[in-house]
């Protein structure tokens, strides 16, 4: 699994009591841990961004580390590589210095022997500056390629060439923050990756030996409306031996429950101060009562509508189990259209000339 983003929408002292999306992230994280225990998996790997951000409130850290400590009692090893949201370092890492919890604080390799099979798992924290040129060097520093093992895995939290995101299927191809496909090492059986929130498997042919898959499990919850159509979950991967060679034999994606995300585009031409109180509730009435909803429009709305659509008003006309918000076009910083902004700049320029 990867990109659990625990702490997302989890205020410690909320001013208003309402449903928060943070609980969805914690529940899905626990579902994965429970699955691992129930199905007696051999290893659990977390591909980074355990937390939502680097500076996380202590109660959230306590909650997460309590879950990890309880899971460690199962005897199943769990490996974690810090991601970019954590600035490549988990908060108070000494607190998860538990038996069966392994943290990649620096490039390195952890080795296990499970039912007579030697497994080496290398990894390094998220690297922010020019991973394109540094990737091969960092892999070398882990020593995973030199490990004497039957199965070698690499854990990273980076964007790899060919990965896709978003509604438009944006594809990472070049740039200093993208790992080249040709740099994926042939000496590992698979790369387990985080950072890309859409689940996908990339395959890179090698000059010698079989292709190496890069497995993105994606985030465990939808973190933005760009992900509103994406299924979320985790992978269960299996390795088997054919003759003298080990290889990836199966990678099965397991979906997790997620609430629907709905983007309502308002038709401003049909809305008036007189009919808003009847039209907007009608739009919300037919939605899933647990939906995550965003109300937006293509142009900057009139002032009366911006003033009307307050958080308090939206909560009053929607299901109490719904999360509802407004798009950026309703925010004060967007109150000028392009022509108005140009005129404002010209006025400022003339003032300086005078």
Res. 337: pLDDT tops 80: no
Mean per-residue pLDDT, 318-335: 80
Distance CA 343, CA 354 (A): 17
Q: Please, are residues 41 and 32 in contact by the beta-carbon 8 Å criterion? A: no
End-to-end CA distance of the chain: 61
Give the three-class secondary structure for 332: helix
Task: Identify the CA nearest to 43 among candidates 76, 80, 3.
Answer: 76
CA angle (271 as vertex; 265, 273 as ends), nearest 5:
130
pLDDT on residue 13: 86
Res. 233: pLDDT tops 50: yes
pLDDT on residue 226: 93
Task: Identify the CA nearest to 257 among candidates 296, 222, 300.
Answer: 222
Res. 119: pLDDT tops 70: yes
Res. 131: pLDDT tops 60: yes
* Domains of the chain from N-terminus onward: 22-255 (3.60.21.10), 261-338 (no CATH)
- pTM comes to 0.90
Distance CA 305, CA 330 (A): 9
Tell me: the pLDDT tens digits for 178-215?
A: 999 999 999 999 999 999 999 999 999 888 788 999 99
pLDDT on residue 211: 93
Residues whose CB falls within 8 Å of the CB of residue 214, separated by 6 or more in sequence, listed in order: 160, 163, 184, 190, 191, 193, 201, 202, 203, 204
Tell me: the pLDDT tens digits for 268-305?
A: 989 999 999 999 999 999 899 999 999 988 888 899 99
How sure is the predictor about 333, in pLDDT bands with cuts at 50, 70 and 90?
low
Res. 349: pLDDT tops 70: no
What are the start-end ranges of the E strands in 19-95?
Answer: 44-46, 78-80
CA angle (70 as vertex; 67, 71 as ends), nearest 5:
85
Tell me the average pLDDT of the chain. Answer: 91
pLDDT on residue 332: 62
How sure is the predictor about 350, in pLDDT bands with cuts at 50, 70 and 90?
very low
């Amino acid at each position: 699994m990867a990109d659990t983003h625990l702490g997302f929408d989890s205020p410690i002292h909320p001013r208003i009591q309402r449903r928060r999306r943070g609980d969805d992230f914690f529940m899905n994280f626990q579902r994965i841990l429970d699955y691992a225990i129930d199905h007696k998996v051999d290893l659990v790997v977390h591909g980074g961004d355990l937390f939502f951000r680097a500076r996380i409130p202590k109660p959230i850290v306590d909650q997460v580390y309590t879950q990890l400590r309880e899971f460690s009692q199962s005897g199943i090893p769990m490996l974690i590589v810090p991601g970019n949201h954590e600035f490549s370092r988990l908060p108070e890492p000494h607190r998860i210095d538990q038996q069966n919890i392994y943290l990649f604080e620096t490039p390195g390799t952890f080795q296990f022997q499970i039912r007579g099979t030697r497994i080496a798992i290398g990894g390094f924290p998220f690297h922010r500056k020019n991973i394109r040129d540094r990737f091969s060097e960092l892999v070398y520093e882990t020593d995973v390629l030199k490990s004497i093992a039957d199965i070698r895995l690499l854990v990273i939290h980076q964007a790899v060439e060919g990965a896709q995101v978003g509604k438009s299927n944006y594809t990472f191809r070049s740039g200093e923050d993208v790992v080249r496909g040709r740099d994926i090492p042939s000496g590992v059986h698979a790369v387990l990756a985080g950072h890309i929130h859409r689940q996908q498997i990339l395959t890179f042919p090698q000059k010698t030996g079989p292709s190496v898959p890069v497995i993105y499990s994606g985030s465990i919850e939808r973190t933005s409306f760009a992900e509103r159509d994406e299924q979320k979950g985790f992978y269960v991967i299996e390795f088997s031996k054919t003759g003298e060679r080990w290889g990836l034999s199966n990678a099965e994606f397991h979906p997790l429950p997620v609430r629907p995300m709905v983007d309502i585009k308002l038709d401003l031409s049909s809305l008036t101060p007189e009919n808003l109180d009847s039209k907007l509730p009608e739009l919300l009435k037919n939605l899933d009562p647990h939906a995550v909803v965003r109300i937006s429009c293509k142009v900057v709305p009139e002032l009366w509508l911006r003033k009307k659509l307050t958080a308090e008003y939206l909560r009053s006309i929607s299901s109490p189990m719904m999360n509802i918000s407004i798009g950026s076009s309703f925010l004060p910083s967007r109150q000028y259209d392009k022509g108005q902004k140009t005129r404002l700049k010209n006025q400022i320029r003339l003032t300086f000339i005078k």
